Structure 1
Amino acid sequence: MSELVHVQSHGPVRELRLARPPVNALDDALCAALLQALADAFADDAVSGVVLSGNDSVFSGGLDVPHLISHGRDRAALHATWSAFFDVAKAIAAAPVPVAFALTGHAPAGGCVLALCGDYRVMCRSADPARPLQIGLNETQVGLAVPDGIQHLMRRVIGAHRASLLLVPGAMVSAEHALQIGLVDALADDAAATVQHAVDWLRSLTRLPQTPLRKTRQVARADLGIALDSVVLDEFIDDWFGPDTQAALQAMAARLRKSR
């Protein structure tokens, strides 16, 4: 078990819990640990489904922006960090067994991207309506354009028009609203119940004939890999150095430093 990804077995279902406090920000090390944990699970014939979960307040805060900024003008380092993230997304998209996301807390940006690559998403209800748990692709708010391949992930779940209404302003939505529009498939009352719901959903699939299930699933999800493969990292990194993007990212990093 990695210090960054905690592994727990639920019979035929394996849970991979992100464990990089405070917000499970996705840096090179966490992505590498998660990619290895996924590979180990997929290679185990006893595993018929995988759950990805986080901590009680955040599933994942997305890519580690201060880590990315620390690369400065080093394009190779930036390319490596973004590649590590997309390798995880592609592994989930191409998973040979169903993958459910137990969104135990907030899931912005990269956290949402990974969840959109899964088969099923259950999210924890907001305990305090005044401070709801949220999910969404808020990239434009921090100065990043959303590539078409990533936009496709959201369009296939909630439809083109509704996706554009969220993507263009980088809007985040509450867990409750996410259920209403189909961005998540179910809600649960707390973190433990969220994980249990995801496990139960995966277990329900084990009662079905596995060969037709997996063949049907492969066809249904073929577009995910195509969409992710369409993202050109060199173009994304070019945009990263744009003045608007850099100003927004530096402002975000300053806010993060103050909050710690």
Structure 2
Amino acid sequence: MEESSYVFDNKPVLQVSNACIFQEHRVVLEDVHFSVEKGEFVYLVGRTGSGKSSLLKTLYADLPLKLGEVEIAGYNIKNIKASEIPYLRRRLGIIFQDFQLFADRTVDENLFFVMKATGWKDRSKMKKRLSDVLMRVGLGSSGTKMPHQLSGGEQQRVVIARALINEPILLIADEPTGNLDPQVSSGILDLFREINRSGTTVLMATHNYQFIKEFPSRVLKCENSKLLDSQKEDFELLTYL
């Protein structure tokens, strides 16, 4: 996408009201209310099966919103058309723990694929943007490598570079360090924090209590079908491990 990144007024990047979040036909979170302002760094925690991933998938329209309202990056998820979903996701950076890289393509080819799929056409601008995002994640010389030639931490940095291609207003990360060892995980968190300091909003699901202990920030916690917010109430973080 060759247009500049989407610019908001003072509205929250994300606003959720009266929402119910489903896993298939079962409600996992009910009466969900929260908003995320531009530039915030927010952790999302909760036990396995508590609704974290379902909430995130609902936010980027991978799961339908059946009840309630969600406005994200300028889109109303309740009424979003299938044809609008790719445009929504250009405004979001979505990061998974299982990388989802094409194993038979180089790093550069993986990123070029995303750029073409999201509307980039000018080859020289594509090359410059690709170079910029790889440098930003510390992989400036890795463009010609295949994914299997990279460590797990390096592969996750490629995924983060891919998510940054279109200058997203919001990064949504679902357990991005879940498959990485502690030292590598710490480096990935540092990268997320640097990205956040540059102005990008970050919503990150994690099981890593050490992250929250070392770098405190706002926490949303999925528990007993409710979403608790550390801005509004005190709760015990350790119980989600």
- Same fold flag (TM > 0.5): no
The structure carrying a bigger helix percent of its residues is 1
TM-score normalised according to structure 1 size: 0.27
TM-score normalised according to structure 2 size: 0.28
The structure, 1 or 2, with the larger RCO (C-alpha pairs under 8 Å, 6+ apart) is 2
The structure carrying a bigger strand percent of its residues is 2
